[in-house]
Every structure is written in structure tokens, then in C-alpha cells.
Amino acid sequence: LVIDPKVVAGDPEFGIAQILWTRLDEMDGPADLDRQLRTLIERAELDAERARGWTLVRVVDYWLWALSIGLTEDPRKCATLIDWMS
């Protein structure tokens, strides 16, 4: 069973942001985010710089989109991730 599949050809690092923002409630701060990000990068054998870059781009993009349609919870999570990554 596949619900709303998103086929993407390109950088595997592109998908890291979604994993992080869905697990934000399990993190205690910037150090925890960094640990989770490093773990994902190491285990998936990803390029660290590219993964961090894509994560920031995707979080900012999602944050702006979520604000534009009036979401309340997701923009808060995105703002937290952006702050923790800075």
C-alpha cells in the first residue's frame, strides 16, 4: 500500500528535512538536532554539506508555504529548525 508517493530522482540528501521536521518533538535542542542529522548522514552515507544545505532550503521553503496557507503548527516547527541550524 502506497499513500501519496513522491517519486524523486536526484540527491538523496533532499529527503532529510522531512525526517527531521516530523521528529522535532523528540528533540531537545540544537545539539540533539545536530546529533540526529549526523546519524542520518552517516548511516545513509550522504554528503554532509549537501544534506545540511538541502535541509535548510527545504525547511525554509516549507515554512514560507505553510505560512502562506495559514498553517500554525508547521511554521512554528520550521522556525525552530531554522533557528537550531543557524
Residue 54 Cα distances to 14, 20, 48, angstroms: 5, 12, 10
Cell of 56: 535548510
pLDDT of 7 reads: 63
| Domain regions of the chain by residue span | 14-85
Confidence of residue 2 (pLDDT cuts 50, 70, 90): low
Q: What is the mean pLDDT of residues 55-78?
A: 95
Closest of 57, 76, 56 to residue 66, by C-alpha: 76
**pLDDT, tens only, 7-25:** 667 899 999 999 998 899 9
**pLDDT, tens only, 38-49:** 999 999 999 999
Q: Rounded to two decimals, what is the model's pTM?
A: 0.84
Question: CA neighbours within 13 Å on the CB side: how many for 86?
Answer: 8
